[in-house]
Structure formats: C-alpha cells, structure tokens
Chains A and B, each alone.
Chain A
Amino acid sequence: MIANYGYKDGSGEFFIRIDTDKCDGCGKCVDVCSSGVLEVRENDFDPLEEKMIAAVTEEHRKKIKYSCAPCKPSKGYTTLPCVEACTKDAIIHSW
C-alpha cells in the first residue's frame, strides 16, 4: 500500500509517501528525524493482517510543511535524513 500523509492547502501540496509493501518497520527513519514526525505502528489500514509499518504521527500529520522545514534544502540539506536512512527506499517527500 502507498500511504500519503499530509495535505494540500491554499499554500501548496505537502505529502510524505510511504510504501508499506517495501517498509519492514525497522524504525531507522524514526531515529534520524529531529522533529519526531515519524513512528512505527501497526498497519491499521489492513486490520486483518498484523504488520508494523512506519507512519507519520497524528501530531505532525497536518503540519509537515513546518515540521519538516529543518531538513529542507534552505537549511543546507541536499538529501533528507529519513529518506537517506531507509534502506528499502520506502519514503518519498513530495515537496
């Protein structure tokens, strides 16, 4: 499953996309995120199967434009720590 967390409002589109088929729930992305945007939790999008997946926390889901700002190119980053940490290439930022 492709999970798109985030939003589109008047100011633009801000989504973090996680491929749950690739994600193995290792949690490396969670450890490297300085804003605490990510967590590993049960895949409740498929209640009949039990699997742990990385997901965007409820707290940050509606403000990732701001929460992710510390890692965006204006701060000197060329790659994003969470994307870099994922050995399965399961995470993509849309902006």
Chain B
Amino acid sequence: MVTAGIDLGAKTIKVIILDNGNILIRKIGLAGFESKKAAEDLFNKALSDTGIKKEEISEIVATGAGKEEVEFATKKVTEVTAGAKGAVFLFPSAKTVIDVGAEEGRSIRCDETGKVIDFAVNEKCAAGAGAFTEAMARALEVKLEEFGRISLKSTKTIPMNAQCAVFAESEVVSLLHAKTPKEDIARAVHDAIASRITSMARKVGFEKDIVLIGGVARNAGFIDSLKREIDMDILIPEEPEFVCALGAALIGKK
C-alpha cells in the first residue's frame, strides 16, 4: 500500500512517499509566499520522480502549520500526532519527542505505539523556535550551517539577557561591538534557545529515550547546548526535518 505524507511548515515543505513502510522518496522545498502552489508542485515532482500516479496512492496525509492549504490531501493530522508517530517508527524506544521547527517548538510525551500522552507547544513567538537562531546568525553575518559549527568551538558561557528575538539581535550586535568572539556569541544564542526549549519540555517531563526532530536538529551547536541543558542523551534521526511527514504517511497506512 502506497501512502504519502506532506508537512507544510512555516518555512519548508516536506513530502514523503511510502510503500508499506519503505521510503520511496523524500522531497523538501521552500514554502515561500505561495505555499499552496509550492506544496502541489513539490508533490507532483515527487510523483514524477518515482513514476507513481496520484490514483495509486491510497492516502495523502497533510500535517504542519499550513496543512489546511493542502487541498489534495485526503486526511489531515496535527504536527504533534505526526511527529510522535514518525519518531517512534524510527526509534521504537522513544518516549519524549522534542520538535523544533522554524516557527514552533514542541515537546511530546508518547507511548511505545507513538500515541500522544501529553504535549507542550511554543508557537507565535520566535524566541523558542528556529527563527531565533536564524535571526542571530544573520546579525552575526554567519551562514546558518556555519553558526552551529562555530558554536562547538566555544567553551565560554555568556548569558543572553534578551528573551525576544528582536531584542536579542541588538544584544548580539553589542556583544560583537564589545569584541566578543563569534564562537562565544553563537554558543550563548544556542544556550538561550536550548534553555527555553527545556523549560517548555519540562512541563511534560523527560522520559528516556529522548528524540530530537525538526530542522533545528541539524544544528550541532543547538544539540550540544540542549544536551548540556537537560543532561541526558538525545537521539537524532538522519533526516530530522522529515519526521512529521513520515509520521503523516505512516498514519495514512492504517
């Protein structure tokens, strides 16, 4: 049975097509300002790349902040449901799933079947999401990929006072003016967001194993800060941004 999962996030769209649990294709593209059309284009591209016809797909499951815009979806599920499902599929031992995307952060407690027990969300505020690190990288004029990497070189803890991303940007600039090394600023930024994600996750508690998903899970600096903050090991899938799309496709299989 062939199913598809589409995760229309705030920044990117992820498409996965599954054939009985085997991934046939993974596709990622920018959502842009015409996300409805972008989602359709990306899905059609995935179809033509695999040679599968739309009619052959028994269920197309949409998730993500823009799931309502995916008109061709046969089913819609929340990001929380999809994230837990996908994470448990990849790591059957997962009990806590932390999902940090471009504009939202989530912490989910789930059982061994991937069913959600409890969750906490941080949305509508950039301070607890990937947008925060992105804005800081821009202020430092460092590429996002580079930003995570240089953070690992720092051994110094500098506190960041600002909670808000806009205020933090000015703080980063004044740190820079005070000749603070970029590595140390990068670490301060990652520590700040890791501390907020941890505070949010504490509401639902931490139970091993902990899995980190979402685009921000590609950021080595953030992972390092988060590990230090929660003082526990964290499992990270190979393609962390696709986990919600995967979960959605798996839900379609049932």
Contact = CB atoms under 8 A, between A and B. Distances in A.
Any A–B CB pair closer than 8 Å? yes
Interface of A: 9-11, 62-63, 66, 69-70, 72, 74
Residue of A62, A66, A69 contacting most chain B CB atoms (<10 Å): A66
A9 B122 CA distance: 11
Interface residues of B, number: 14
A66 B195 CA distance: 10
- The CB with the most chain B CB atoms within 10 A, among A11, A63, A69, is that of A11
Contacts of A74: 118, 203
B113 interface: no
Interface of B: 118, 122-127, 163-164, 196, 199-200, 202-203
B163 A63 contact: yes
Contacts of B122: 11
Given A9-B127, A10-B125, A11-B125, A62 B163 contact: yes
Report whether over half of chain B's contact residues are helix, strand or loop; otherwise say mixed.
mixed
Contacts of A70: 202
A53 to B, nearest CB: 25
Contact of A66 (B124, B125, B199): B199
B199 A69 contact: yes
Contacts of B200: 66
Given A9-B125, A74-B203, 5 more contacts: A10-B125, A69-B199, A69-B202, A69-B203, A70-B202
A62 B163 CA distance: 7
B164 A66 contact: no
B118, B196, B203: residue with the most chain A Cβ atoms closer than 10 Å: B203
A75 to B, nearest CB: 8
26 contacts: A9-B124, A9-B125, A9-B127, A9-B163, A9-B164, A10-B123, A10-B124, A10-B125, A10-B126, A11-B122, A11-B123, A11-B124, A11-B125, A62-B163, A63-B163, A66-B196, A66-B199, A66-B200, A66-B202, A69-B199, A69-B202, A69-B203, A70-B202, A72-B203, A74-B118, A74-B203
